[in-house]
Structure 1
Amino acid sequence: MLPIVPPAVSQTREPPPPAVRHRSFPVNGPVRSMALPLSRERALCRVVRNIIAELFLLTGERILVRRERRRTACHIRQIAMYVCHVSLSLPMSEIGIAFGRDRTTVSHACARVEDRRDDRAFDEFVGTVERIVLSIAAVTAGGGDD
């Protein structure tokens, strides 16, 4: 008696069309195109994140462990969200869109940073970032010194 062997699945089925295979937006949520021009607020959020990342590298040691790099990236993002909300008075929903997160995540980040500001060194770091960001925002808005 010969064993019955089913045909290989990959040979009998056709792959799904590309639109189904690669979904880049939530099915039940709004569709956002990445090709749209950045608003001023979103551009400022990106600048804030880059400034904090650079200052963080200047003040701290280089992180080599993968887990620590991930934690560092989370802290940088949380500080950037906090500074955008507190210093630039941007709404949490707009900050969430700029960082690819939900507004509740922004709220959590602000609470975490506010809790960590009890540490003097951390408070000085965040205060420095806030002053730099406010200076840049004033210059980009046309209120800078010439």
Structure 2
Amino acid sequence: MPRVVRRMRGTGCRPTRLPAAVTGAREGADGGRGLSDAELARRIGARRWEIVAYEQGDRRPEPARIRVLAEALKVAPEALSDGRRGERTLSDLRRARGWTAQSLSRELQVSERSYRRLECEGLEPACQRGLVGKVAVLLEIDGVEM
């Protein structure tokens, strides 16, 4: 059983605030003129109902879709993540950079369960010392964000 090596800030899993971020970016797109949900859907190769579902919080875009949304809206992927700098969870940062928990855990060579415990509870497995640093490198984040 892993022991707590260190508790990370901003790791707790919590409800998403992504809908407001997507809506705000869409309404501010194109130099402030905004885009309709149908136009955004067309630009990213999605259906209008998907954009509506993201904005209503009924559906959460996959990490790869977050990148495509960000490109279409001409914002950084982090602008579509939950919260401001210092408030984002590890999950927010991972998703904004296009990683799924499964793909990141595979890259880190740890079980998905171990990675999820790090992400949601801030528990670093004792047998995986240095995991936090490896995650920071892969997600291109600094100690302030961790």
Q: Between Structure 1 and Structure 2, whose CA radius of gyration is higher?
A: 1
More helix by percentage: 1
TM-score (norm 2): 0.24
The structure with higher relative contact order (CA 8 Å, sep 6+) is 2
